Amino acid sequence: MAQQYRVVISGQTLSGGPLHDIRQAVGQAFRLHGEQLDKMLCGKPVVVLRSGPLDGAERLLAKLQGLGLASVIEPVDEAVRPPVLPATSKPGVEAGSTEADELFALAPPAAAVRPSSAALPGAGESEGGAAVPDGDSEVVCPKCGEVQPKRTLCRQCGLDMPRYLAAQQAAEREAREQRERERESRQPVTGRAGRGGDDAWAPGLLGLGFAGRLGRLDYFSGSMLSTLVMLLFALAAVKTGKFSLIGLGTFISLIYGLRCLALRLHDTGRSGWLSLVALVPVLGAVMALWLLFAGGEDEENDFGAPPRQGGGGRALLVLVVLGIVCSVGWRSISSDPEKALRFMAAMSTMQGKPMAEADDDDDEVPEMAVTYASNNRVDIYVIAGCHDCAQMRSWLDAHGLHYTVYSVDSDQHAAERLHSIIPGGGSVQLPVLEINGKVLPGNPPVGEVHRHLRQASP
């Protein structure tokens, strides 16, 4: 049998321009349109003559190149010559014409297919752009990138492509399952609890860890709890006089507040390390306020399942407890100016402000023995149980000063006299001294008292 040849268009134009420029001319020359024309000008190698004599192949090649299509003639091996499928006849084209039949079939370049390739796993699958699509006769080696007719072994590197692709997909699937298991192991048990209502405390609100997510209402409740802890320790410090409790309360409140910020950031899909921004003045307050209104992610994220819905009941309970503590605390300190001052100092310390210290100059007293004149007039206003009042009276006694005591908590006349010598209303810090007609309010330092006393003549 005479040697047979096939004609393959490369999918490019001779000029290097786009195929769209010659689309109309090709369609008119071969009377193609629609899907057939699209298949011919798909930009990939396409066989337009599967098998024919050399003269027929040359005529078709000249016609294609005349239209601007880059084409080649290839000899067809008798052993691997594919069968020619019946062609669909078109108006104006002779039935049985080899050129018309092959052109309208428009098959991609065919290659020898090994019988065992169909049974190999992974055939027809893709990996990272290296495709072996079903029904297509072209394949790209996933290892060396060689474009070649569809086959099992790469003609460039000898790789068993279907098995390689199957192994790659299995490795990807195993890695994906491993990542999923690792993410599940990182999720806290509390984060997997079902969406609950307001009848129970959310475990994330009262927990100690920094894993999981916190909704907006529970974040508000956590902020109020942090404030409540700070308030309780401040009241305990005022009550006991042990201001070391202030440091402990500040530490607990800070750690718990950072935890609530981290869990709320997790709910928005952000890293909990951003909670450290709260330590930056102004910026931290802005972030804390923003998290109160920012919505969380509806689906499970890298930090766990969505938090419990609701939380209004928990928020209301925390507010009620906070109100009760504030009411009881106010009653205990409002009647005692000294306690009120201590409470304000404790709260200032918890907010990072140093406790007010007396001016060093006011505390200075001459080191040499000082004798005060007997004609000094000293009045002191005190209340029962006032530690500062007792200290001031002890100092006056130690220097032999005579004074008049006015107990403003048990003597109405003394209370009226105190308010008459101090302008304005409101609470007054005791003791208050009146020395030789000069009023010294607010527990004056002994240095100031010394400067207003007349000394005895030498």
C-alpha to C-alpha distance for 403 and 397, rounded to whole angstroms: 9
Q: Flag whether pLDDT at 148 surpasses 90.
A: no
Q: Flag whether pLDDT at 362 surpasses 60.
A: no
Q: Flag whether pLDDT at 356 surpasses 50.
A: no
Query: Which phi-psi region, left, alpha or beta, contains residue 372 (left: φ > 0; alpha: ψ -120 to 50)?
Result: beta
Return the pLDDT at 83: 46
C-alpha to C-alpha distance for 8 and 111, rounded to whole angstroms: 13
324-346 pLDDT, tens digit per residue, is 988 888 877 766 655 666 666 66
For residues 346 and 246, the answer to whether their CB atoms sit within 8 Å is yes
What backbone phi and psi angles, to 5 degrees, belong to 14?
-65, -30
Provide the pairing of β-strand 378-382 with 438-440: unpaired
Return the pLDDT at 202: 47
Q: Flag whether pLDDT at 425 surpasses 60.
A: no
389: nearest Cα among 429, 425, 358: 429
Terminal C-alpha separation, the chain = 148
Return the pLDDT at 380: 94
Report the pLDDT averaged over residues 161-174: 88
In the numeric block, the tokens 């609701």 are attached to 310
For residues 105 and 87, the answer to whether their CB atoms sit within 8 Å is yes
Return the pLDDT at 393: 92
Strand order in the sheet with 46-52: 46-52, 4-13, 69-76
Determine the 3-state secondary structure of 107 from DSSP: strand
- Percentage of residues of the chain with pLDDT beyond 90: 7
Q: Flag whether pLDDT at 354 surpasses 80.
A: no
∠ CA 181-187-192, nearest 5°, is: 105
Return the pLDDT at 34: 78
Q: Cβ of 323: how many Cβ atoms within 10 Å?
A: 10
240-297 pLDDT, tens digit per residue, is 767 778 888 888 888 988 999 999 998 898 988 988 988 898 898 899 899 989 888 8
Return the pLDDT at 349: 60
Return the pLDDT at 196: 42
Q: Flag whether pLDDT at 82 surpasses 50.
A: no
Report the pLDDT averaged over residues 208-226: 87
- Percentage of residues of the chain with pLDDT beyond 70: 73
pLDDT confidence tier of residue 369, bands split at 50, 70 and 90: low
Return the pLDDT at 200: 42
For residues 304 and 269, the answer to whether their CB atoms sit within 8 Å is no
Report the pLDDT averaged over residues 164-177: 88
**List of domains in the chain:** 4-105 (3.30.1390.10), 113-186 (no CATH), 203-334 (no CATH), 361-452 (3.40.30.10)
Cα–Cα separations (whole angstroms), residue 202 to 88, 169, 194, 268: 71, 42, 11, 18
Q: Flag whether pLDDT at 424 surpasses 80.
A: no
411: tokens are 């003597």
> Residue 259: how many CA atoms within 13 Å on its side-chain side?
20
Q: Flag whether pLDDT at 427 surpasses 50.
A: yes
Strand ranges in 285-441 using DSSP code E only, listed in sequence order: 378-382, 404-407, 432-435, 438-440
Report the pLDDT averaged over residues 377-401: 90
C-alpha to C-alpha distance for 383 and 219, rounded to whole angstroms: 44
Highest mean pLDDT among 99-108, 122-131, 373-382: 373-382
| Helix or strand run (H / E) with residue 240 | helix 216-240
Determine the 3-state secondary structure of 380 from DSSP: strand
Return the pLDDT at 381: 92
Q: Cβ of 52: how many Cβ atoms within 10 Å?
A: 22
Supply the mean pLDDT for the chain.
75
Return the pLDDT at 159: 83
131: tokens are 């495709």
Highest mean pLDDT among 123-132, 241-250, 421-430: 241-250
Q: Flag whether pLDDT at 379 surpasses 90.
A: yes
